[in-house]
Amino acid sequence: MVTVIKKGTDKEIIDKLLKEALKTKGVDTHKYCGVIKLKEDPLVIQKRLRDEWE
């Protein structure tokens, strides 16, 4: 999220914008940690995928 604050904006408006920005909630990525079980080393997989382009 991008908030543009122009020169001369009142402090009350800036405080209101900051509160709204802090109130927004994103995606909880911690629930996906450790979900995928790999049988191969991730670096080996990454190198193999990168070599497909050649």
1-54 pLDDT, tens digit each: 788 889 999 999 999 988 888 876 778 788 888 888 889 999 999 999 999 876
pLDDT at position 24 is 66
At residue 4, the 3 state secondary structure works out as coil
Q: What per-residue confidence (pLDDT) applies to 52?
A: 87
Nearest to 3 by CA among 32, 23, 28: 23
C-beta of residue 5 within 8 angstroms of C-beta of residue 14: yes
> What pTM was computed for the model?
0.41
In this structure, the number of other CB atoms found within 10 A of the CB of residue 17 comes to 14
